[in-house]
Amino acid sequence: MAREFEPVRFFVLMGLAAFLVCGVAVFCTHRAAHGRTAEERAAYEIGEKAGEQAPRDAKLPTDAELNSKVF
């Protein structure tokens, strides 16, 4: 036999589901910021600044060009 629809229970469960989904979304978006080392964050910042200073028509080097350079 089918149960009677209970609006209060429905809205409470929908609220809990929304709270859970939002919590997972926040966890997934912020977990990368906490899991990075200081060196990784510094390297990202250096790359970000280099990208801002690069000319608009600049091209990335190929793998062969990167491997031929001696540092």
Q: Which residues contact 44 (CB under 8 A, 6 or more apart)?
A: 36
Given the structure tokens 């910042």, which residue do they identify?
Answer: 45
Q: Is the whole-model pTM more than 0.75?
A: no
Domain ranges of the chain: 9-51
What does pLDDT average to over the chain? 86
Cα–Cα distance measured from residue 17 to residue 11, given in angstroms and rounded to the nearest whole number: 10
More confident residue, 20 or 31: 20
If you average pLDDT over residues 37-62, what whole number do you get? 88
Instruction: State residue 51's pLDDT score.
Output: 87
